[in-house]
Structure 1
Amino acid sequence: MKVVLLLLGIFIASVVKCQVLEGVVSDADGQAVEGATVYVRETAQGCVADENGNFRIALPSGTYVCEVSALGYEKQTLQVRVGEKRDVLRVVLKPMVYMLQEAKVNARGEDPAFYIMRHAIARAPYHRHQVKRYLSEVYTKGTMQLEKIPKLLMLSKEIRKEVTPYLGKVFTLESVMEVAFEAPDTYERKIVAFSSSIPDDLSPDEALGIVTASVYDPDVMGMVSPLAPGAFSYYRFRFAECYLEDGKTINKIRVEPRKKNSQLLDGYIYIVENDWSVVNFDFSAKLTGVTLHIKGVFHDVKPSVFLPTSYDIDVDVKIFGVKAGGKYYASVKYKEVEADTTNGVVVKPVSVVAENKALPEPAKSPKREKAERKLEALLEKEELTTRDAYRMARLSQQLMTPERPDTIPPLEIREEVVTEKVSVDSMAVRRDSAYWLQMRTIPLKQEEVKGYQMRDSLRAVVKKSEGETDTTRRAHRDIFGQILWGSSYKLGKQGRFEFDGLVKAFPEYNFVDGFWIGQRFGVSLAVARGQRLYVEPSVYYATARKSWIWQVYSSYTYAPLKRGLLKVRFGDVSADYKGNAGAWRLENTLTSLVCADNFMKFYGKRYVALENRIDISNGLVLSVGGNYEKRRVLENHISYNIYKKDPKPNTPSSEGGVDMPDNTALHVYGQLDYTPRSFYRLRNGYKRYVRSDWPTFSVRYDRGISVGSGLSSAYNRIAIGVQQKKSLGLFDKISYKVQAGKFFSVKELYFPDYKQFGATGWVFSKEMFFSDFYLTDYYELATAEKWFQGALNYTSSYLLIKRLSFMQRFLFNEAVHVRYVWMPETKSYTECGYSLGFEDEIRGGVFFGFDREGYRGVGVRVVLPLDWK
């Protein structure tokens, strides 16, 4: 087989008849110029020189024009003859001679960078949509080195075995890919060749991909582009220098983030005067423990069509004592490029608008014509304001985007989403050394060659380490882990079965039931497209009460375009008097078991409940339902706790609530929620709401219907409310909730029927700080009359502590919270708080309470949003 591959390699080499142009780029002092870019005009091929200034390009025999450039140096244009003779091309770059900037300072004395960046931002949508399709060949090379591991970790024998083969050694990944792009954002990546010196057997589809994101996109690699609409809010721009290159004026602009944030870039961007396209960028980004240094070089592969031809990325990792470094190169050769000449208006440079103000005249809708008139008016302005630039960018994006067909609803989102298909050539991992010698644009360094030579011996060490674990024992461990932690299994093609595992076989302890011992199961079945049936039975034995606690929850999704959902529940459980406004039951388990603080009180509930939710129209949701309950009073049956304290009686009055007798309840309700202009997506035939700039308005009616001659709830209740969560830019967001309601025509009412307000009974909670109260007795905030409540939360990445510069490198954010409730029983009650945390992962805050008599108290609360049913 090896002989066949060798002959095949010789055959390919003989057919192509390519020579290799090798070279070294240095400065006048003989120092290597790292990151210099070599671009061959005839083949639209770029490559980047390594830290020693070395580069190599495979070219058929002939004469070529090569452009050699580097940041801070003048570009050299050379005519090179490639033949059988392989002399090393030596290129000496001279320091850049910068020009005196022409006066482009307005009456306010602004930095010239403002003028340049406004025009670049205004023109960014045009450059983003400038290319209809291209086919390219990309060589990528990535090297990495694990330099240091904390000594504490190396004390572990298992970690030492895993890490030792890699520590201090340089590993290399190389690939050759064919990348096909089709507008607007579709990439097909075919791995033609793949090689790795890493001991683990990597799959070719793990090859390093080129950066498919464009600097002209508002979001580039998960960070805010300096060319995004709104960039002036996030960046400071300063004019650095300018220089002439091929008759064009290139402006070097300093880009500084206004705040230290992992979503912002820091560095330089190079922009062509009048064309306002990017020719280079040199950015750094800092995440927690990771620093990226990213350089990109663009060339005009077609007249006025600039595309990236090389990338040079450094990665530096320093976190928790781990130190590692990496380097990534990408060299791009464009085989085919087709510019898009049909996508609407071309935003002309301001300097030439006076010569030709006419716009293309395809068939246009009135809306499109109006946008073009607005854009023309902005183009005629001698000087753009920042607001003008943002408006031009939005109008250009609108005109570049094809008009939606009338068959697509106006609120359905069909955004341009980057899709990437990856395939692997059957020969990808079989390419021989002759092939790689021809395809590499950067020669291997000595330590990289040694890495390839050591690969097989290191693989033997790694496999030996892995082989020390008996496969039978490993399989047993896997089965035991599933039993312990739970798992899920497929049921045919359309179903799935799941269970909780032994860890959740004891989910609760309280003084009424004792320990719960049992299990929760789940079965999910796809009935049809967009329709699914889910059944979740659970059964537990209450050790102290010596009775069974069980319930069945089932749901059926139907009418996928209307988000239909039918829920049915029934069972016999111990329920919290506070109902859906209650806290996390695991909190009560911990407080009861540790210190006898049983803040939750329970009653027996044998019930059946039914609910149906469906969209009447877009954004208008109707929910109707009802439940029948037989309620019975329960008492404590056990008092065990670690500190051997006496628990409180199982009556809600001990926590500020109201006691009740045994009773029955038949409760029905209807609720309307309306969110104007709700945008949505269709995925697999199912409708999902995405966003709206409007709040959600709601109205709800509840009624308790008297049943039989015994004690039974009988009342009417109505509530209206509004709530919203809204982003205020990249760093800030706000959420609020307001509700008012009233009971009327009340004949019988029991504590579970009261309007209950969310409260926590302990320092920990799993619900984020949105509208709950934290300093009152658990059952104190409840009313049987009328109420008004409000909640306001403002979250910012830079509120108080994060305004200190040395704190800005950390990822946490800050928030302020205000809650208010009024009801006849307690009159006014207010809580104000401050918190900090990591988005929705973990959060801690301090809260202050005030009632009608003034200051009431202070407390600390911590949110841990764990998934524990």
Structure 2
Amino acid sequence: MRYALYLFLSVCSIALHAQGIRGRITTTQNEPLPYAGIVVQGTSTGTLANAEGQYELNLAPGKYEVVFQYLGFKTETRAVTISGDFSDLNITLQEQALNLAQLQVGKGKEDPAYSVMRRAVAKARFHQLQIRSYSARAYTRSTALPTKIPFLLENRLKKEGVQQGKAFLNESVADISYRRPNTYNQKIVSTRNSLDNSTPTPNEYILASFYSPEVAGTITPLSPKAFAYYKFEYEGFFEDRGEIVNKIRVIPRAYGEGVFRGSIYILEDRWAIHSFDLQTTSRGLDVEVKQLFNPIQNVWLPINQQFRIKGGYLGFAGEFKYVVSMNYLKLDVDPNLREDIVINDHKKEPEKAAPSRKAELEKMIEEQKEFSTKNFRKLIKEYEKDQKKERKEQGEDVRVLRNDSISVDSLAHKRDSTYWETLRPVPLTQLEVKSYQLQDSVKVLRQEQARKDSIRQDSTRFKPLHLLTGHGYKLGTRSTLSYESPLQSLVYNTVEGYAFDLALDWTKRWGKDHRFSLRPLGRYAFGRERLSGTLRTQLATRKWLWQLEGGEYVYQFNPNNPIPPGLNSLTTLFFEQNFMKIYQKQFLRTDYTYRYLGDVLSLTGSLEYAYRSELSNLENPRPYIDWQNRAFTPNRPATLEVPNTGFPNHNALTIELTANLRPWQRYVIRNGQKRYYRSASGPTFQFNYRKGIPVGLNPVDYDFLQLGGTYNQNLGPRSELSYALNAGAFLRARSLYFPDYRHFMGNEFFFLTGNPTTQFRMLPYYQYSTAKRFAQLHVVWSSQRFLITRIPALRLLGLKETLQTHALFTPQPVGAYTEVVYGIDGLLRLFRIEGVANFRPGTQAGVGYQGLGFRIGTTLNIR
């Protein structure tokens, strides 16, 4: 009660002493200018107008020069005196006229935009490095408007407050601190949502600098590679607060994902961003980004940001608008990076001598205040190297891409509308007020319904229906029990007939990231009338995992499971094709994995003792559809290397060691935890050694070694090259059986699952399995501008084309196998289709062409 009284008195005190200016910002035709910027001259104190052009700026008593600006309109500066209460001040902005008198483009001459952009590109990193640190308060408002909802979900979502044509809001106020080069700390002071936080977020743009070469995977106009992706046109210049501003039209050479289009405004002589209005497309969504910059401590910084995301996916469509107002509280500008230098276009001015590598930047600027665009970029690179060296000497890890921390104030979700009236810098429109009122009433009903549902559906209570559907139960604060229904794992194969698994999974967590789990699993095969099962226990943290498992179960000969059991059930019952081949194993196995040793190395070691048995098909397995030209194949796989892959019951004691090395592993830190970039450019090297130790009946006795590597190379926003190379051999093979062979990720069904990079498209599952030596190569090149994707309409649908080669080399009589693939990815955003030509030397007049096939795949992860 004391706290509530104090808060009430504080809010009343603020309300009683509020003063400043308020009004409406319009065009000369009295049309509102939504989200126009208002800022006090020379500071970052400011706000935004709302969607109706209305604004309100709190100011202490005194005299101010207030700047009103809107992209494409002439900036207006007004002197105001604040004595008490609010003063009304309506502003009319005139459209900005462009001057072309001094810069005319003659026939055959280079457009002046290129000279401007060369200097802006050369100085981009300079501007990015100017700020050593800052603290700011950011206000963000998002408005989401669903424009299309699938019919089947319409009623359900309506109960949640989501209706077609009705907008809902999210507001937040956050304190942000930044430290060069990549550390961001955010504290959410207050947040108010008329629905929830599930809308798309433009954070990749808000906390990104458009001086960077890329933002959210999109090449910026100030990237060193910009001239390969953009054409530029000079549209004129105007004057703003004593600065000459050049308007440059940004024209992508081929519009689509990964590039922007629109306009960017560059300050003359500073070659810094004044503002921009750019558009791009990402995953089928149209993204518009606007930013207005203002001078603070002689550095132009973004204070007004607007984002608009529009599009649809899987039957949903909508529009999301975001406005961000940045108020910089503290700003630390690097004194070594001053603006009093001249950047000359190296194509227009004589080239000056390159700066000395060892000289200090400050001394170099004092000695030479004019630099060519090329030399200045070299200079900044040297400065970055010095900064990187200093960070290393201070013990910082330079492989960290970002270091973010986000915390939420304990009262962030509890502040009421009265508090928000004093905190919100941008007034609500009438539609937004109604949206809050509507959604607040929906939220009350939903909370009451959720309370009733939680009573009826207590997660700790058992219900008979759970036997069919499966369920998860909470057993205390950090303990859970999951039950997996047999219906979830019901499968059919020619060896077991119908079979299902029934499993429980109990997990206990403690400390920061420790967990212990116990998983008993039972399996019943109706065709064999056999009950089997396993028991697995795990002890793990984020960095390591120890596992012990034993029992009896059936496994595919290829431990990588090239065909999912569910898909095999479909092919067996409907297409009379039993692709999956399995054997039985009674075993005891232990594994230990340590992840990211020194952040670059992960190690896994395992020891297994097993009694392995061959299995045969049932006497008369029956598909749903009897295909006249097909028949089930034996469960004994056919291979080219040996005529018979059958084996006796035997013992197998094996030990296996696996290492993955990522010497250039990079990562981000979020709230103190590392998150590694597996998809980032850079090679990964693999080492695997497996040894069979002779013990017991018909033992195994062999040594197997394989080495490999994968590499993903980003060739730009529209192109990527991925390749994987893997080779190995049985160094000693005194005794081994078909489960010990080296198998490959083949595929014989028209629907493709698995890793699209390392899986063959038409290779028979076991035909090329080997107990000798092998090498395989996979190369995948993808592009959004190759053949059909040169058509803009198709490219904007999100399509990608791929060219692929998959090759396998084994000793004679097997020989080599090769696939050449052309594919189209992104059909309906979910599917891919591929044409595959496969070759085997010497099969047809020495040409080796085997045939042409087609495959359909999906971007979803099918288990």
Same fold (TM over 0.5): yes
| C-alpha deviation, 1:540, in angstroms | 0.7
C-alpha separation in 2, matches of 1:243 and 1:687: 46
TM-score by length of 2: 0.81
Instruction: Find the counterpart in structure 1 of residue 623 from structure 2.
Output: 641
Instruction: Find the counterpart in structure 2 of residue 650 from structure 1.
Output: 635
C-alpha separation in 1, matches of 2:367 and 2:857: 50
The partner residue of 2:820 within 824, 828, 832 is 832
Instruction: Quickly say closer, same or farther: Cα 1:426–1:504, change in 2 above 3 A.
Output: closer
Instruction: Find the counterpart in structure 2 of residue 338 from structure 1.
Output: 331
Indicate conservation of the 8 Å contact 1:36/1:49, yes or no.
Answer: yes
Q: Residue type matched to 1:337 in 2?
A: K
C-alpha separation in 2, matches of 1:808 and 1:862: 20
Instruction: Quickly say closer, same or farther: Cα 1:484–1:730, change in 2 above 3 A.
Output: farther
Secondary structure at 2:72's aligned position in 1?
A: coil
Instruction: Find the counterpart in structure 2 of residue 514 from structure 1.
Output: 497
Instruction: Quickly say closer, same or farther: Cα 1:847–1:665, change in 2 above 3 A.
Output: farther
Instruction: Find the counterpart in structure 2 of residue 260 from structure 1.
Output: 255
More displaced, 69-78 or 662-671?
Answer: 662-671
Indicate conservation of the 8 Å contact 1:628/1:664, yes or no.
Answer: no
| C-alpha deviation, 1:752, in angstroms | 2.6
Indicate conservation of the 8 Å contact 2:135/2:331, yes or no.
Answer: no
C-alpha separation in 2, matches of 1:7 and 1:650: 80
Indicate conservation of the 8 Å contact 2:647/2:738, yes or no.
Answer: no
Q: Residue type matched to 1:828 in 2?
A: A
Indicate conservation of the 8 Å contact 1:733/1:795, yes or no.
Answer: yes
Indicate conservation of the 8 Å contact 1:578/1:756, yes or no.
Answer: yes
Indicate conservation of the 8 Å contact 2:660/2:687, yes or no.
Answer: no
C-alpha separation in 2, matches of 1:32 and 1:623: 64
C-alpha separation in 1, matches of 2:496 and 2:285: 51
CA deviations on 1:222-252 (whole Å, 9 max, x unpaired) are 6443334434444333322222223222122
Instruction: Quickly say closer, same or farther: Cα 1:94–1:612, change in 2 above 3 A.
Output: closer
Instruction: Find the counterpart in structure 2 of residue 307 from structure 1.
Output: 301
C-alpha separation in 2, matches of 1:5 and 1:557: 46
RMSD after superposition = 4.9
| C-alpha deviation, 1:46, in angstroms | 2.6
Indicate conservation of the 8 Å contact 1:242/1:249, yes or no.
Answer: yes
Instruction: Quickly say closer, same or farther: Cα 1:780–1:413, change in 2 above 3 A.
Output: same
More displaced, 83-92 or 826-835?
Answer: 83-92
Instruction: Find the counterpart in structure 2 of residue 784 from structure 1.
Output: 771
Secondary structure at 1:240's aligned position in 2?
A: strand
| C-alpha deviation, 1:83, in angstroms | 4.5
Indicate conservation of the 8 Å contact 2:43/2:296, yes or no.
Answer: no
More displaced, 514-523 or 819-828?
Answer: 514-523
Pairs within 5 Å for 1:359-438: 369=358, 383-385=372-374, 391=378, 394-400=381-387, 403-406=390-393, 408=395, 413-423=399-409, 425=411, 429-432=415-418, 436=421
Indicate conservation of the 8 Å contact 1:248/1:272, yes or no.
Answer: yes
Instruction: Find the counterpart in structure 2 of residue 235 from structure 1.
Output: 230
Secondary structure at 2:793's aligned position in 1?
A: helix
Secondary structure at 1:752's aligned position in 2?
A: helix
Pairs within 5 Å for 1:652-667: 652-653=637-638, 658-666=644-652
| C-alpha deviation, 1:264, in angstroms | 3.2
CA deviations on 1:182-217 (whole Å, 9 max, x unpaired) are 65533444536x666x4x5x6999999993433334
Indicate conservation of the 8 Å contact 2:341/2:365, yes or no.
Answer: no
Instruction: Find the counterpart in structure 1 of residue 578 from structure 2.
Output: 598
Indicate conservation of the 8 Å contact 1:37/1:49, yes or no.
Answer: yes
C-alpha separation in 2, matches of 1:686 and 1:76: 47
Q: Residue type matched to 2:331 in 1?
A: E
C-alpha separation in 2, matches of 1:805 and 1:819: 30
Instruction: Find the counterpart in structure 2 of residue 809 from structure 1.
Output: 796
More displaced, 108-117 or 165-174?
Answer: 165-174
Instruction: Find the counterpart in structure 2 of residue 40 from structure 1.
Output: 40
| C-alpha deviation, 1:824, in angstroms | 0.6
| C-alpha deviation, 1:149, in angstroms | 5.2
Indicate conservation of the 8 Å contact 1:682/1:688, yes or no.
Answer: yes
Indicate conservation of the 8 Å contact 1:587/1:765, yes or no.
Answer: no
Q: 1:66 and 2:66 equivalent? A: yes
TM-score by length of 1: 0.81
More displaced, 790-799 or 720-729?
Answer: 720-729
Instruction: Quickly say closer, same or farther: Cα 1:804–1:528, change in 2 above 3 A.
Output: same
Indicate conservation of the 8 Å contact 1:128/1:214, yes or no.
Answer: yes
The partner residue of 2:850 within 843, 846, 856 is 856
Could you tell me which runs of 5 or more consecutive residues in structure 2 were left unpaired when the two chains were aligned.
none
More displaced, 824-833 or 710-719?
Answer: 710-719
Instruction: Quickly say closer, same or farther: Cα 1:245–1:469, change in 2 above 3 A.
Output: same
More displaced, 125-134 or 788-797?
Answer: 125-134
Instruction: Quickly say closer, same or farther: Cα 1:719–1:446, change in 2 above 3 A.
Output: closer
Instruction: Quickly say closer, same or farther: Cα 1:33–1:604, change in 2 above 3 A.
Output: closer
Indicate conservation of the 8 Å contact 1:371/1:395, yes or no.
Answer: no
Instruction: Quickly say closer, same or farther: Cα 1:379–1:813, change in 2 above 3 A.
Output: farther
Instruction: Quickly say closer, same or farther: Cα 1:117–1:324, change in 2 above 3 A.
Output: same
Instruction: Quickly say closer, same or farther: Cα 1:20–1:427, change in 2 above 3 A.
Output: farther
| C-alpha deviation, 1:565, in angstroms | 5.4
Indicate conservation of the 8 Å contact 1:665/1:705, yes or no.
Answer: no
Instruction: Quickly say closer, same or farther: Cα 1:166–1:715, change in 2 above 3 A.
Output: closer
User: % of aligned pairs identical?
Assistant: 24
Indicate conservation of the 8 Å contact 1:676/1:692, yes or no.
Answer: no
Indicate conservation of the 8 Å contact 1:58/1:439, yes or no.
Answer: no
Pairs within 5 Å for 1:314-713: 314-317=308-311, 324-325=318-319, 327-334=321-328, 336-341=329-334, 349-351=341-343, 369=358, 383-385=372-374, 391=378, 394-400=381-387, 403-406=390-393, 408=395, 413-423=399-409, 425=411, 429-432=415-418, 436=421, 444-448=428-432, 450-451=434-435, 486=470, 497-506=481-490, 508-524=491-507, 535-554=518-537, 566-580=546-560, 582-611=562-591, 619=600, 625-637=606-618, 639-643=621-625, 647-653=632-638, 658-666=644-652, 668=654, 673=659, 675=661, 677-679=663-665, 695-697=683-685, 700-707=688-695, 711-713=698-700
More displaced, 51-60 or 266-275?
Answer: 51-60
C-alpha separation in 2, matches of 1:352 and 1:603: 73
| C-alpha deviation, 1:564, in angstroms | 5.9
Could you tell me which runs of 5 or more consecutive residues in structure 1 were left unpaired when the two chains were aligned.
361-365
Indicate conservation of the 8 Å contact 1:518/1:541, yes or no.
Answer: yes
C-alpha separation in 1, matches of 2:132 and 2:434: 43
| C-alpha deviation, 1:829, in angstroms | 1.9
Indicate conservation of the 8 Å contact 2:587/2:609, yes or no.
Answer: yes
Secondary structure at 1:679's aligned position in 2?
A: coil
C-alpha separation in 1, matches of 2:405 and 2:728: 48
CA deviations on 1:603-636 (whole Å, 9 max, x unpaired) are 3322334555668987566655554433333222
| C-alpha deviation, 1:272, in angstroms | 1.5
| C-alpha deviation, 1:806, in angstroms | 0.7
| C-alpha deviation, 1:767, in angstroms | 0.9
Instruction: Find the counterpart in structure 2 of residue 363 from structure 1.
Output: none
Instruction: Find the counterpart in structure 1 of residue 755 from structure 2.
Output: 768
